[in-house]
Structure 1
Amino acid sequence: MKVSFPHMGCITGYKRLMEKLGHEVIMPDTPTQRTMDLGVKYSPEFICIPFKVMMGTYIECAEKGAEVIVSSGGNGPCRAGMYPDVHQKVLEELGYDTKVIVFDNMFVDFKAFYQKILMIKNNTPTHKLIGIAIFCYNLIKKMDRLEKQLKIRRAYELNQGDFTKAWKKIVKMFEACETNADLRRAYKKAIDMYDSIPVRHVEESDRIRVGIVGEIYVIMEPSVNKNTEEILNSLGVEVENVQYISDWVEHNVVPKWLPFPRSHRIFNLSDKISPINCGGHDKENMGWVIDFARRGFDGVVHLMPFACLPELVNLGKFPAVSEELNLPILSLSLDEQMGEAHVKTRLEAFTDLIRSKHYAKQRTRLDDVAETLESAAKKVGDKVGEVRDNLTTTPKTPKYQTK
């Protein structure tokens, strides 16, 4: 079959999975203005931007001859759970014979999950299918680790663009991998490439760190969030994104009673603030905000689609949470009208704010240390004076006494 998928996250993993299952892969293009225009034209007016961008991507894939589009769904009041039915209907009305297959949490309906696996496994024997799944998971996991490092190291590059160029080469290296041994070699070579890039040294105490939370599609797709992470890196800010494909797989495949993945523990951090899960990633995102505050992050950028119900719930809570945790939070509501200049301006202002706050905290800590040292010195001085007084006023006792 001719198979395609949305442009989101580590698409190299999707590509290799479908190729190893014997399908012809129709690679989705990076979303462009044409993608957005198609999505807006054929989508309900007030539906969120992930739906519109994916709709445009699906139409472009159907134009290339895709017979099947594989994607993931949503849960709870989040409208992502209804995406596949509407996407399918729009494609049919436009005359495309393209089927949309959506994978949800396997623990919710394992029978339906398994039936969808049978639809795409292409007569692949079960033992071989397991091996392919493990290989593709390892590929995605390693690429996600490298991408996490990219978003930290890129903040300190001497020549802007070096890490982005290296990342493009790394993606091509992993596309050529056929075995787990190839993956290990590619990973080692990628680390060597990172290490060879000149960076400026910044003391740990001077580093500015920002967490990215929000709806999974808009925080994972740079073309939709207007390259938020790259802009922050260019301003000298380390970035930690809370959503990666490997994390999503672990969260939806690994049982909650096991000590991993970490997302299950993060999910429970927000119980007091968000006792009810409103769908999407609202409860999980609130847990991440608390975790960022505990780890000493300087701020959080919250990315949400315009009119996204779960993230609107969080948006209403963030002012009080920000004040309680003493953690600045910037919320950006994204739709097709949002421009990159607007996003860049707000991120620059936010970076100035958190940098000033960071150095103010440092000055306060230094003042506290100086005050502590001064107090300790005074106590030592008082003690020395007391000892000196005792030595000068106490008469010496003779070493030997005669009867």
Structure 2
Amino acid sequence: MRLSFPYMGPTIVYKKLLELLGHDVVMPPKPNKEIIDLGVKYSPEFACFPFKVITGIYLKLMEKWVDTLVTSGGHGPCRAGYFGEVHKKILQDLGYDVEIIVIDSPHDDYKYFYEVIKRLKGDSSWLQVGRVIKTVYQLTKVLDEIEKKVEILRAYNDKGTINRIWMDAQEEFYQIKNTADIKRIKNKYLNKLAKFDKSIPAEAERYRIGIIGEIYVVLEQSINNQIEEKVNRFGFEVERSQYLTDWIRENIFPFTGKDLEEIEKKGEEFIEADIGGHARSNMGHAIDFKEKGFDGIIHLKPFGCLPELVSQSVADDLSEKYEIPVLSITIDEQTADANVLTRVEAFLDMIKEKDYREVM
């Protein structure tokens, strides 16, 4: 099989998983205007923005003779659960014979999950599969750990310098073969970043923003207008509600984890029913950010995403009750970078002036 996958967040993780299982892996193109326009052209008008972006990515991959696409399913009633079938239909209508393998959570259907893993393992033994999963999960945790450090340090240092360290680290991680390689590279780059720790001000002088929203637009910087870097530019630290490690723990591991369960429970105050996606957990994360002393929340909502539309509708109530400002930004193919920058700058200025109650 000649495999690929959608471009989302730390793509190195998906590449290494399939590569270590012995597959011929083609890296997907990073979303850009051409890809987005292509996806918009061939997607249903009512589809959410992530669907359109992924459509464009798949169409570009067809030019590289990819015959199998590996993707994840949706959570609950979220329409992402239909992405695989609809994308396959679109590609077939355009004359492409391609298989789409959807990795759904074993919590939903263990037998189906087993069959998918059996299909992807190829000639690898189950022992090898176990080792690969261990290696890739360790890689995911380390990447998230380094990125969280970057999201802090970039607020107080030259963006280019910190970004270069982060990009160099990712390049080296592409070469890993085992957990020993991961540990060596991790220590190397955490030590490099540690040299900038002295730039972090005293706790009372730090400003922090939590970013919540639909997982694709939260994780993928190329379609959310580099929102984290924009926030960092104004001296604010950033932390996301979603990192790939969290998705794996929530969807793949047999036990979700007490911390994630508590986040979900907090969100029930504003969204009682499971309406799909991460709508309820986003509300829980917003409350959690407030309890951790964060100064504001940025909520990213892709156009056409029904769960996040509900989240946006209750965000004002959450903001008022917990006295934390919330900025909702809708992301689609029409979103202008200058518009996002202007809104983010005004929001952060408002927080620093401590007059957000009057503004809101």
TM-score where L is the length of structure 1: 0.86
In structure 2, do the counterparts of structure 1 residues 180 and 59 end up closer, same or farther at CA, with 3 Å as the change threshold?
same
Cα separation, 1, equivalents of 2:114 and 2:127: 15
> SS of 2:22's equivalent?
coil
Does residue 357 in structure 1 map to residue 334 in structure 2? no
Count of aligned positions = 357
In the TM superposition, what is the alpha-carbon distance from 1:12 to its structure 2 partner?
0.8
Corresponding residue of 2:217: 218
In the TM superposition, what is the alpha-carbon distance from 1:307 to its structure 2 partner?
2.4
Runs of 4+ in structure 1 off by over 6 angstroms are none
Q: Would you say the 8 A contact 1:254–1:261 is kept in 2?
A: no
Q: Which ranges of structure 2 fall in alignment gaps of 5 or more residues?
A: none
Cα separation, 2, equivalents of 1:93 and 1:358: 54
Q: Would you say the 8 A contact 1:35–1:56 is kept in 2?
A: yes
Instruction: Describe the superposition over 1:305-358 as per-residue Cα deviations: whole angstroms up to 9, x where unpaired.
Output: 112111111111111110110000000011110011111110000010111119
Instruction: Describe the superposition over 1:32-75 as per-residue Cα deviations: whole angstroms up to 9, x where unpaired.
Output: 11100110010001211100000000111121111111111113
Cα separation, 1, equivalents of 2:6 and 2:192: 29
Corresponding residue of 1:401: none
> SS of 2:102's equivalent?
strand
Cα separation, 2, equivalents of 1:271 and 1:201: 35
In the TM superposition, what is the alpha-carbon distance from 1:261 to its structure 2 partner?
5.2
Aligned pairs for 1:1-400 (under 5 A) are: 1-157=1-157, 159-197=158-196, 200-256=199-255, 260=257, 262-357=259-354
Q: Would you say the 8 A contact 2:7–2:30 is kept in 1?
A: yes
Identity of paired residues, percent? Answer: 42
Q: Which amino acid aligns with 2:199?
A: R
Cα separation, 1, equivalents of 2:283 and 2:197: 36
Q: More deviation in 350-359 or 43-52?
A: 350-359
Q: Would you say the 8 A contact 2:91–2:97 is kept in 1?
A: yes
Cα separation, 2, equivalents of 1:99 and 1:216: 24
In structure 2, do the counterparts of structure 1 residues 198 and 160 end up closer, same or farther at CA, with 3 Å as the change threshold?
farther
Q: Would you say the 8 A contact 2:217–2:301 is kept in 1?
A: yes
Q: Which amino acid aligns with 1:280?
A: G
TM-score where L is the length of structure 2: 0.96
Q: More deviation in 88-97 or 189-198?
A: 189-198
Q: Which amino acid aligns with 1:328?
A: P
Larger Rg: 1
Q: Would you say the 8 A contact 1:298–1:358 is kept in 2?
A: no
Corresponding residue of 1:364: none
Q: Would you say the 8 A contact 1:250–1:261 is kept in 2?
A: no
Q: Which amino acid aligns with 2:231?
A: L
Cα separation, 2, equivalents of 1:253 and 1:337: 34
